[in-house]
Amino acid sequence: MSLPENLFTPFKQKIDSYALPDRFTFPFYYQPHDLCVLASTQLQQHLKTQTQWQHNFGLEGDTETAIGKMFGVLLVQNKHNEIGYLAAFSGKIADKNHLPNFVPPVFDMLAEDSFFIAGQSDIKQINQQIKTLENNPDIAILAADLSAEQDACAEQIKAHRTSMILGRKDRKQRRLVAETELSSDDFVQIKLQLGKESIKQKNQLRDLNIHWDDRIGSAQQNLHHLTDEIAVLKQQRKELSTCLQQKLFDQYKFLNKYGVEKNLCDLFKDTLQQVPPAGAGECAAPKLLHYAFKNEMKPLAMAEFWWGQSPKSAIRQHLNFYAACQGKCQPILSHMLEGIELDENPLLINPAVGKTIDIVYEDKVMLVINKPAEFLSVPGKNIEDSVYLRIKQSYPTATGPLIVHRLDMSTSGLMVIALSKQAHKNLQKQFINRTVKKRYVALLDGLLTAEEGLIELPLRVDLDDRPRQLVCYQYGKSAKTKWQVLERKNNQTKVYFLPITGRTHQLRVHSAHVKGLDTPIVGDDLYGKKAVRLHLHAEFLQLNHPVTREVMQFQTEAEF
């Protein structure tokens, strides 16, 4: 399908009353500019009404095969000083990476004459050869034969070693008896006989090993006649895939405002992983900026929103705006936005300025504090101010790590602080053994129908977009949360959370995920919608005093 060269889209309504952005969007944490919201609304209307292509986003009932997508808009000024926007989507839609009204990919790997298609075809042929060879029923038979031989070998060797141990004990006993009851000459003869018996058993073990080595070797050789060809093909596939991937990385070349072009390998060589992750360069943001620079348009602001059903692992809410991912996009966008004045990075601003920590309980060995929302528990990558630092300054004679457990920066509520190493060891052991009772109160952005329940969704970090967490049944750590409704009001639900485990972002993910409560916590800027604050508060703690062992209970009311 041929596409128009100019994909600049004008606004359908007058925008004279809108102020243009002073600086470009900081892509990794932002509130969308009003004109980006307007552009997104216009694009969303297009998605609802267009008939040129079909894709199941999961908005019309069929959720089994649904695939939601991230869309992006880039507010631009063209060569004629007109203000409009460009639109893009991440990855593919309707099995295509070219669609009308959307900017093209930076590199079209799906083009009919693409080396990538040819390379994929070669790999597909090898895959088919491997599959055919692996389906040979003789492989299973020979593998079973080999396993049977190995089991029989292990059983016989074990039995003979047991016999040798018993023989050794018997010979020792016979020697002791002979030493006390026989003459010197007879004792010498007995010793010679016992020695021969020992040598005989050792030789039998040697012969057994040789016998079974031959049998197992023969079985392995029979199996390898069929599997060696598969191993060669798999190595060939690996080498072809690596070569194809490297060639593909070289083709993804990204422009910036200075006309400087860098490919994926250049951009990721100094990162921790050094190699570009899968899908790098296919996100909406790099596509938009590349097209703008290539066509001499000035980028003014950008925003990305999710359209459709949430993925099974990550949390994406239909119509919500999201920041660019750190793992895939940060190295690319750092290059592409070079020389462009950006909004201030809010992640570098200390949110704890002007806030104080309330002491709920204090003695010589421990504290219980009420941590404010938007206050780090421990120093972060860019911000040192934290509960740890404040306590260290206020209690300079305290020893040990101080922090027994953590709350998310955005979560308010009760935290226990140890003022001595011994107290820290005892308190931390209580948390590890899960004898500490904790209760959180949260306000959810929607109405729950059930009254209570248990959520079990294993969690792991999203390696491409830290600090977000994913639901992952293969690699995730067990995470369990009990919940109970307190009240429903103004289309919101207040709940108690009683976490059984304590994973990062556990309550936030269990609230927002479609297999959890499918209702984000109010103010959750990662898994829901940003508000004045995250409405999550650790209101109750019960533990044993680290010295007196007295049962202690603490409670602070939430501010919402």
Residue written as token pair 């020979």: 142
As to burial, measured by CB atoms within 10 angstroms (0-12 exposed, 13-18 middle, 19+ buried), residue 214 is exposed
| Angle, helix 184-251 to helix 115-134, in steps of 10 degrees | 150
Cβ-based burial of 336 (10 A; exposed 0-12, middle 13-18, buried ≥19): buried
Residue 96, Ramachandran bin (φ over 0: left; ψ between -120 and 50: alpha; else beta): beta
Tell me whether residue 408 is one of the annotated catalytic residues. Answer: yes
Tally of CB atoms within 10 A around 368 = 19
Catalytic choice (22, 145, 358, 408): 408
**How many residues are listed for the chain in this entry?**
560
The DSSP line for 469-487 is: EEE-TTTPBP-EEEEEEEE
48, two tokens: 């609802």
In terms of Cα–Cα distance, which of 552, 537, 560 is closest to 440? 537
Other beta carbons within 10 Å of 491: 8
Instruction: Find all residues with CB under 8 Å of 246, minimum gap 6, and list them.
Output: 265
Instruction: Read off φ and ψ for residue 309, nearest 5 degrees.
Output: -70, 145
Which class for 35: exposed (0-12), middle (13-18), buried (19 or more C-beta within 10 A)?
buried
Task: Please tell me the distance from the alpha carbon of residue 441 to that of residue 559, in angstroms, as a whole number.
Answer: 10
Checking 126-129 for CB contacts under 8 A at 24+ apart, the result is: 126/233, 126/236, 126/237, 126/240, 127/237, 129/233
Segment (H or E) for 353:
none
Query: Helix, strand or coil for residue 327?
Result: helix
Q: Is the dihedral of CA 519, 307, 57, 96 positive or negative?
A: negative
Torsion of CA 211, 217, 222, 225, to 10 degrees: -160
Measure the CA–CA gap between 536 and 410, rounded to whole angstroms: 8
Give the separation between CA 22 and CA 248, rounded to whole angstroms: 37
Q: Please name the residue ranges forming H helices in 397-555.
A: 421-432, 506-512
Active site residues: 408
